[in-house]
Chains A and B, each alone.
Chain A
Amino acid sequence: MKIPISWLKEYVDIDLPIPELAHRITMAGIEVGEITVTGEWKNCYVGEVLTSRRHPNADRLILCTVDIGREQFEVVCGAPNVEEGQKVAFAKPGASILNYHTGATETLQSARIRGVTSNGMICSEFELGLGEEHSSILILNNNAPTGIPLYEYLGDQILELEVTPNRPDCLSVLGVAHEVAALTNVPIHEPLMSYQEKGEPIDNLACVEIDVPSLCDRYTASLISGVKVGPSPRWLRDKLSKMDMRSINNVVDITNYVMLEMGQPLHAFDFRTLPNGKIIIRQARPGEKLITLDGEDRKLDPPMLVIADSNGAVALAGIIGGDPTQITEDTTDILIESANFNYASIRHTASDLKISTEASLRFEKGLRPELAELGLRRATRLIQQVAGGTVAKGIIDIFPGKVNSNTTVTLSSKRLRKVLGVSLPMDRVKRVLASLGFSYQRKKRGVIQVTTPYWRSDISLEDDLIEEIARIVGYDNIPAIPLDTPIPHGQPQPIRELRECIRDALVTCGLQEVITYPLTSLEVANRTVLGEEMLRPLKITNPMSRQQEYLRTSLIPSLLGTLETNRRHYDASIRIFEVGRVYILREGTLPYERETAAGLLAGSTISGKEHPFLDFYHVKGVVETALTSVGIRPTFKQERDSTLDEHRSARVVVGKVVVGILGEVRDTILNDLDVEDRPVSVFSLDIEKLLDVLPSTGHKFRQIIRFPSAIRDISILLDTNVLSATVDGIILRHKLVVRTLLFDIYTGENIPQKKRSLSYRIYFQSPDRTLETEEVNSAFQEIIESLGNEAKVILRD
């Protein structure tokens, strides 16, 4: 909302520097953004045309002498409307002037025009950047003081206010003036609203009916006959232009002016176009048509609220007028509407029809019905002033909302103290309320009954008044007192604790955390389906783009995407993880938001040699290490998954619970991506499942065995289809074995086809004694036998 200081000054005196005023308004709740200065106009003054005569060498040029007090200038003027005695905007040489022909700002210099020297210029609106008029000069008011800088007379500063939705009163100059009055402690001059009613009683001429009183709290109207519709006077056009509003004609301009001044939207109908002078406020009929003022042919439906005559809708209530009943140059009689419509209804209709007007913006926020009558009277007075005519006696005033309108709130000093944490003297409180336009009555000691002023629609509770007091006193003037209430009991959320531990564990494993968007396209969501079933993702009904239309059911596609974008500029190995939620649809209720940890490894390893690329075993190592570090011992089972390589993938199992999967992504999926990495290894863990299998006892200390261990190494030859886990299991089964270490895997030279060699180191140890050599040797023999019998293992030398 733009608020010109010049206009504000019509209601309040402003002695403060403008930046200080802006600061106070900001601190009290309405943020002032920019302060725009219009017209710096250096070297421009209010001048008086002392003499004017024809240019000796040119018929259409005039020679003028302009007085600016201390000096007089002889200038050549081409405008037809210059006359002796006029007050004008005079630019001395050196002034910056907008050139109509070039459109550029130029520095004015003395020039010889047809043999006569012109020392300056009498300016048009255009040349000063004030408007479009360029062929005639700008004529100032006769009382303009000659010789003062033009800026002091015509210049302005405009505050750009960011008005919060609760303060529609500040969408008006008067509303902001009330705020300024309270903040600077000065009185306010309310605008004049009186006029003479010389016409017939309005009830004899016009009639209004409200069909849906629940949607129209108040409808007031006045009637002026014999108006002369025409261009608006300069002051009116100026004001509208400062607020970025186009001038239409004097009648329409006044309705807009009053809206900007008081915040009450109004509408003027050409009264002659309304059959029998009758209008009805009702809901639209299904499919009803209306051509609105913006030229759109609109199809209306219930429950949209319309203003109608006997033929049909003539206006969209509170939003925009209709074309057939608008004010034209031929209009002579006008009906002025000033009403109060239900905010929700206006909001709904405006959003359904995708139309937003100055009127709808104000009505949507909820206005006071009291404002309707005041706006009507102000507009009637001003229209009569600028367009003439005779005002009918009385006004139409239907006020169904009157019964509900409660404008008093009780305020106690006890509550004030409770909420703010500090006592304020009641006298101070009363002064603040009075400065804001509230009136009050003492109820009892420390309690007052407060009546809200007509422009405030946001005050209905005691705490609303407390905010009023606090913001005018100044938040910074309320002390800061540390909390002294007891700290509540409460347990941490275990899922959160575990999730953060896993995050740290993955960082410890050398992975970089990423956070990616949870919205994706259906195509990407379906590209990688983890687990057995395909999940139907939740859909956004108003997505910003097709790429962000569905909530993800897996983190893997996001990680693949991150790999792809980084590969454009990042050639080192990539190790990333994300801890986030996936969203599993549940019919009729909120989705299940599953806490998930997933990671991706791609590129070459640091050590090279045996595993030159980050593969299945690396991702398995990460999962093993991370889970072990949070106290979970995973095992791995074979996995068949459409995303992962048939062989080089596994399920992560704890006890009997599947907690996740890992493996190398299938080439068919990688081929769709712009990456050359092969393989790309991923994992995904369900954190809630991990919580289920997390040992409830927490981490328990194990005794360190104090007796020495004995070591035997064994190299065995076995079929390639025998899993190392089987061998491991057989060895570990022996009661003297505490640990095995697989230290070599070998295929190739000297090894038969479909065989491989595994070398293990076996650690024998007892918790209560030192083992004898013979004991160890026989245990070793028993293991070799079991391996031979159960896994068809041959001992190598």
Chain B
Amino acid sequence: MTSTTLLQEINQVRDEALSELEAEESQGKLHGLEAWRIAYLGRRGKLTSLLKRLADLSLEERRSAGALANQVKGLLLNKLSEVQGRLKEQPPIESPVPFDFTLPGQPINIGRLHPTTQMVREICKAFVSMGFKVVEGPEVEWDRYNFQMLNIPQDHPARDMWDTLWIDYKDEQGRYPMLLRTHTSPMQARVMEQTQPPVRVLVPGKCYRYEATDATHEWHFFQVEGLVVDEGVSFANLKATLYEFIQLIFGSERRVRFRCDYFPFVEPGVEMAMDCFFCDGKGCRVCKQSGWIEIMGAGMVHPKVLKGVGYDPFKYTGFAFGMGIERMSMLKHGIDDVRLFYGNDLRFLEQF
């Protein structure tokens, strides 16, 4: 084989390719162009096959034939993109039946978790990331755990803080010893009775109060309780832990405030508030113009509580905290009426 024949063949392929390209353009189909490209310029295309034969020629012949082949390749590629460009500019061909892409998609039925469950999980997640273990306890409780072991003996003035629903069951002294727990705090005593320090637990659960319902009060609600006990756990640790929690849930720009408050099972007692994120602390309807939103009660576990479960209050110290779930959810979602939570109107629940 000589270079002359190869050069001729290259020129033939060029002519053939150009006339076929013209034919494809008149067909007006982009996919026809692709077939054309494969036929001439593809891995096994006609021009590519000729190029492979260059290896058989002498160095000089290879130079002239190679130059021509590359020139033809460039020409074909240029022509191809010209034709592609022209074809793309043409308006799309109308399909016989108009297609309505605005019709609704095929319905897919989805389920959702109740906003309370979502909030419980979010709070648990935050504390689990700080090494807390989640445990749960009974909703029907003994007076002993709900009150007495929390330093609230019979007739203690603080009992008025929790209006209680009592179970119709009397003990030998004629007292009602069984109740619907008014807070998740009884689990503090139960956990400590069952385990030795160190303790770091989180207790979500339902609670009940004898209370009329209104936009901010429910007789049936959820709380999350936390308890940390070990040697060397301090008030300063309480502050850092709760501050971290607030930042995890409400964002790192939030500020917190700690003030003295009273709960019989802690000493010192704490109420933690967060600066109002609706008004950035300037004062609005949500924070009742105070700039602060109360989030939870907390404090150092009372020495009498530690003693009551058999811990040495001189050796161990700890802190506990408790918060209402619905309140957190209301703040997060801007819900203005707590009664929506357990009214179970699907128009409400489907928003979460």
Contacts and interface: CB of A to CB of B under 8 A. Distances in A.
Contact of B111 (A28, A348, A364, A509): A509
Given A29-B262, A165-B158, A565-B345, A485 B233 contact: yes
B133 interface: yes
23 contacts: A29-B261, A164-B262, A348-B155, A419-B268, A421-B237, A475-B259, A475-B260, A481-B237, A483-B237, A488-B131, A507-B111, A511-B111, A512-B112, A513-B117, A540-B168, A542-B210, A565-B344, A566-B344, A573-B109, A576-B344, A583-B140, A593-B138, A593-B139
The 6 nearest A-B residue pairs measured at CB: A421-B234, A421-B236, A467-B268, A344-B155, A29-B260, A487-B131
Contacts of B341: 515
Contacts of A479: 236, 239
Interface in A522-557: 538-544, 548, 551
A542 B166 contact: yes
B34 interface: no
Interface string A7-26: 00000000000000000001
B236 A543 contact: no
A508 interface: yes
Contacts of A583: 139-140
B258 A481 contact: no
A343 B157 contact: yes
A503 B113 contact: yes
B338 to A, nearest CB: 13
Contact of A515 (B110, B117, B241): B117
B138 A514 contact: no
Contacts of B157: 165-166, 343, 347, 364-366
Interface string B101-121: 000000101111110110001
A238 B172 CA distance: 52
Contacts of A343: 155, 157
A544 to B, nearest CB: 6
B140 A512 contact: no
Interface stretch (B1-9, B85-93, B224-232): B224-232
B267 interface: yes
Interface of A: 26-29, 31, 164-167, 343-344, 347-348, 364-366, 418-422, 461, 463-464, 466-467, 470-471, 475-476, 478-483, 485-488, 490, 492-493, 496, 500, 503, 506-519, 538-544, 548, 551, 562, 565-566, 569-570, 573-577, 581, 583, 590-591, 593, 606
A419 B235 contact: yes
Interface in B172-214: 176, 178, 180, 195, 197-201, 206, 210, 212
Interface in B125-140: 130-131, 133-136, 138-140
Contact of B269 (A467, A543, A551): A467
Contacts of B155: 343-344, 347-348
A115 B267 CA distance: 73
Contacts of A486: 198, 230
B79 interface: no
Nearest to B236: A421
Contacts of B317: 418-419
Contacts of B262: 29, 164-167
B239 to A, nearest CB: 4
B243 interface: yes
B161 interface: yes
B167 A539 contact: yes
A488 B198 contact: yes
Contact of A482 (B133, B169, B235, B237): B237
B329 to A, nearest CB: 12
B244 interface: yes
A515 B116 contact: yes
B167 A475 contact: no
Contacts, number: 234
Given A343-B155, A606-B109, A515 B342 contact: yes
Contacts of B235: 419-422, 470, 478
B111 A575 contact: yes
B154 to A, nearest CB: 7
B55 interface: no
Contacts of B160: 165
Nearest to B209: A544
Contacts of B267: 461, 463-464, 466-467
B149 interface: no
Contacts of B303: 461, 463
A519 B210 CA distance: 12
A506 B131 CA distance: 29
B220 interface: yes
Contacts of B161: 165
A476 B258 contact: yes
Given A419-B317, A476-B257, A471 B268 contact: yes
Nearest to B343: A565
Given A366-B157, A475-B258, A513 B345 contact: no
A500 B112 CA distance: 13
Contacts of A591: 140
Contact of B240 (A483, A540, A593): A483
A302 B135 CA distance: 45
B300 to A, nearest CB: 6
Contacts of B336: none
A517 B220 contact: yes
A475 B236 CA distance: 9
A475 B270 contact: yes
B333 interface: no
Nearest to B176: A541
A516 B260 contact: no
B275 interface: no
A365 B257 CA distance: 29
Contacts of A422: 234-236
Contacts of B134: 492-493, 496
B43 interface: no
A259 B109 CA distance: 67
B347 interface: yes
A543 B211 CA distance: 10
B219 interface: yes
Contacts of A517: 220, 342
Given A490-B133, A542-B165, A510 B259 contact: no
Given A514-B114, A606-B107, A544 B233 contact: no
Contact of A470 (B136, B142, B168, B268): B268
Given A29-B259, A419-B300, A575-B111, A541 B347 contact: no
Contacts of A31: 261
A539 B130 CA distance: 40
Contacts of A569: 345, 347
Nearest to A574: B346
Interface in B64-116: 107, 109-114, 116
A617 to B, nearest CB: 15
A393 B2 CA distance: 148
B178 A590 contact: yes
Nearest to B118: A513
Contacts of A29: 259-262, 269
Contact of B219 (A538, A544, A566): A544
B158 to A, nearest CB: 5
